[in-house]
Structure 1
């Protein structure tokens, strides 16, 4: 069984649904290893110092940002951690939008949201509500140290999570030489347009993904299999997979109460103003904690002196 990419909760309003994030795609690319033709030994990639030519051990490698050609600023692990988002265990839905209102260029990679045991009620509730309203949830999720924009949408009996690109990751179409005029500016006749429409009609049909195959990969697999039969195969024992812990139960939650409170909260406070308020509260909490910590240290030192 596949391992989850991430485990946590899917939250909207005051409802939290324990879920696991499972990959929604299967890699079909054929990868190759580099071997030395003289004895078929693997060729390794070495971490080599560009000036001395010596191999660098992992403990001596640091991360740096190249802000100019040949000029770097070294970042400590604490620097990177300080920029990481606070929430690592929740997919927080911030808004619901019309399913067809998002430019398809924003969608990047599919995952499947799988509910934990006894979390099915909240999962089905959100799935059916999204299906009935024709909306999808726009959320954020932190995987490892990076925060991703994502969309939660129903698909059949499942909830999908689609990773999204941020606006700054898209290339503006104006950067390319795109024809902007009407078809008359390009001397396209009514007859040419009519024939094009007719051709589209004759080639139209229902979408059936089973009709499309990666023929290059299939032919390459055949070549590999033929080579394996001719030259023999080296087999390795498969690695054992670790067991995945079960999530928390949520079917006992009073969904009606949480939904009503979430609706009342959104009526009182606009969604756009809620986010800054949360950030301000977090900063205030951090400052208060920082002020208390010196006092705690002083108390510990005084206690140590008394014992001495």
Structure 2
């Protein structure tokens, strides 16, 4: 059973779905350690003061930001805690977008969302609704004290929570020296283009990622096994196994009533809010929030009512 990173809930409208978050990645990397060839002991790295050469104990270590050459601003743990995002176990969907509108270059790290027993019905409802509309739910989620932008969509029968890179993290292509395109672009010779298109057509096959393997890892592992079979093994390193088991009771919730209230609430916001009907995003510490117009003063009360309702019932 996959170990859950955390257990929380998905929230969209007034519907609340308890879920467990597990990594969708499995990296079977071969871990190589640095050892002393004279006695096969592991090499230990020390924290050394660059000026004195002395080892620095953990209680004297602090983080610092180098704002100028050789000039640092020290940041204590308490100071860093004050600017960290509020720890929450809720994936609150702020809006839905067309999945195809999300540039794949923004995809960073995938996670699986597995429903708790009491949330399976609502989980299936959200999954099928996303599948039918081909939409993705956009949200912000906190994992291990860091806040991420994320997109939730369907793959087979599971909801995927894909962590997204912020657009500011993508380097500008203007920094690259690329052939020009458009009217002033270099135009290939017709014969060359025809041959290139034909070659691509001849090499086109059905994409079967399951048939592709990490050949380097397989070769290295085969070589290691060969050395072990010859008696060349000198040590055995094991990592402790730990698991996570949890069970919840099944309960029945009237999803239709929550959905109807959510639709009414969203319709009210759309008619009294922005013209494009998008829910106003919550302010973050990085981006100053825009002042809401006078018409939206009732939204605060609606938000409190939504939070109160969520705490009483969960789908």
Give the TM-score band, short-chain normalised: 0.7 to 0.9
- Offset at 1:33? 0.7
Q: Distance in 2 between matches of 1:80 and 1:43?
A: 32
Q: What SS class does the counterpart of residue 118 from structure 1 fall into?
A: helix
Q: Of Structure 1 and Structure 2, which has the larger fraction of its residues in helix?
A: 1
Q: What SS class does the counterpart of residue 39 from structure 2 fall into?
A: coil
- Offset at 1:87? 4.5
Alignment of 1:193-204 (within 5 A): 193-204=193-204
- Offset at 1:237? 5.5
Higher radius of gyration, 1 or 2: 1
Aligned-residue CA RMSD (Å): 2.5
Alignment of 1:100-139 (within 5 A): 100-139=100-139
What is the aligned partner in structure 2 of residue 190 from structure 1?
Answer: 190
- Offset at 1:273? 3.1
Q: 1:259 to 1:25 in 2, by over 3 A?
A: same
- Offset at 1:139? 1.1
State the Cα deviation string for residues 133-169 of structure 1 (Å, max 9, x = none): 0111111110121100111110111111111000110
Q: Distance in 1 between matches of 2:52 and 2:87?
A: 42
What is the aligned partner in structure 1 of residue 85 from structure 2?
Answer: 85
State the Cα deviation string for residues 178-211 of structure 1 (Å, max 9, x = none): 2232498424122222222211111112111122
What is the aligned partner in structure 2 of residue 243 from structure 1?
Answer: 244
Q: 1:199 to 1:274 in 2, by over 3 A?
A: closer
Q: Distance in 2 between matches of 1:134 and 1:238?
A: 42
Q: What TM-score do you get using the length of structure 2 for normalisation?
A: 0.82
1:174 equivalenced with 2:174 (yes/no) = yes
- Offset at 1:244? 3.6
Q: Is the 8 A contact 2:48 2:54 kept in 1?
A: yes
Q: 1:274 to 1:211 in 2, by over 3 A?
A: closer
Q: Distance in 2 between matches of 1:11 and 1:273?
A: 16
Greater mean deviation of Cα atoms: 69-78 or 181-190: 181-190
How many pairs were matched up? 281
Of structures 1 and 2, the one scoring higher in RCO (CA 8 A, sep 6+) is 2
Q: 1:254 to 1:226 in 2, by over 3 A?
A: same
State the Cα deviation string for residues 249-304 of structure 1 (Å, max 9, x = none): 674332112112222222222444363579x96xxx9xxxxxxxxxxxxxxxxxxx
Point out where structure 1 has 5 or more consecutive residues left out of the alignment: 286-308
Q: 1:120 to 1:204 in 2, by over 3 A?
A: same
Q: 1:196 to 1:183 in 2, by over 3 A?
A: farther
Q: Is the 8 A contact 2:87 2:145 kept in 1?
A: no
